[in-house]
Amino acid sequence: MKTKIAIAATVLLLAAAPAAPFWGAFFAGIGKAVGKAIGIPQLGGALDGLMPVTVKAAQPVVDAANLRLAQLREIRSMSTSTLEHFSGVAGTLRDLGNLGQFRARAASWLRSSAADRFGTSGAWSAALNGDTPRSGAARAFGSATADVPDWSAALGTLPNALRVGVRREHASLELADAAAVRSIAVLGETRRLAAERRTANRRLERAALDPTAAAQSMPALLGKVSVGQLRQIDSAEHTNQLLDALLEAELAGLKRDRDRMARSMQAAAEYRALASAQPPANWRMP
C-alpha cells in the first residue's frame, strides 16, 4: 500500500513540473559534451548542443558539423601525401648510399723546376710557381734573359732607313718581353691559388656525395648546385686569363715573324735592283 502511494506522488510531481526546461537542459548537456568532443563551437541559448528542441534550430549545428568533417578530410589527405613524399625520400636516400663510388681524384698542378746552376733561372721558376709576388715577374724575367741592346749612342751614326729599322727591332723585343712577363705573372697567380681551389673542390665533392637526409634535402641540393656553378665561373675566369696571356705572347711572336719576313723581302728587293743595274757579263769562248 505504501509503495502505491509513493508511485502516485512521483507521477503527480512530474505532471506538475514544466516539461520544456527539464528536457531542454537534459539534451543541451548531451549536446555540449558531444560538440566539445568533435570541435563544434557552442551556439549558445536555445541552440546549445546537438539536440535542440526544434528541427529548424538544428540546421546551423548540422552545417558546422559538415564543415568540420570537410576540414578533417582535407587534413587527412595532406597527411597522406606528406607521408608518401617522405617515404619516397627515404627510399631515395637508401639508393644513394653508394655515391662514394663516383669519387674521382683531380689532377694536381705540377710545379716548374730548373737547375739554376748560375743563379739565373731560379727566379723564373719561382715566379711561374707563384712563390713570389706578381710584381717580381719582371725581375725574374730579366735575370734569365739577355739585355736589350742599347742603340742610343749608335743611332746617330746610322742612315735614316737603318735608324728606323733598329727602332722597330727594339719594339719587337719590348713587346715580346712584356707579353712574356705578363704570362709569367698570370700563370704564377693561377698556380698559387691551385691549392685553395683544390681544397674547395674536395669539400664540395664530399657534400655532394653525402647520402644523409640533411645533405640530400632540396635546400641543400640547391645550395650545392649554386656553389658548383660559381666554382665553374671562377674556373672559366682563370682559363680566360691564361688564354689572354697566351694570345698576347702569340701576337708578339707574330710581329717578330712579320718583321723578319719584311726584312727578308726588303733585302731581296734591294738585291734584285742592284743586280738589274749591273751590265751583263761578256762571255767568250776560251
Task: Assign 17 a pLDDT band (cuts: 50, 70, 90).
Answer: very low
Confidence of residue 47 (pLDDT cuts 50, 70, 90): very low
Give mean pLDDT, residues 275-285. Answer: 68
Q: Dump pLDDT digits (tens) for 172-219.
A: 888 888 999 999 999 999 889 888 888 888 888 888 877 776 777 778
Could you tell me which residue, 250 or 104, shows the higher pLDDT?
250
Q: By three-state DSSP, how is residue 94 classified?
A: helix
180: number of Cβ within 10 Å: 20
d(CA 254, CA 172): 10
User: pLDDT tens digits for 128-177?
Assistant: 899 988 888 999 988 888 888 888 888 888 888 888 888 888 888 888 88
Calculate the alpha carbon distances from 230 to 106, 205, 220 in Å.
Answer: 18, 14, 15
Do 137 and 184 form a contact (C-beta atoms < 8 A)? yes
pLDDT of 74 reads: 86
Within 8 A by CB and 6+ apart from 231, the residues are 197, 200, 201, 204
Q: Where are the beta strands (DSSP E) in the chain?
A: none
Residue with the three cell numbers 664530399:
206
For residue 20, what pLDDT band results from cuts at 50, 70 and 90? very low
pLDDT of residue 13: 44
- The pLDDT of residue 19: 46
For 96-138, the DSSP string reads GGGGGGG--PPPPPPPP----TTSSSHHHHHHHTT-S-GGGHH
Q: Which residue has the higher pLDDT, 44 or 170?
A: 170
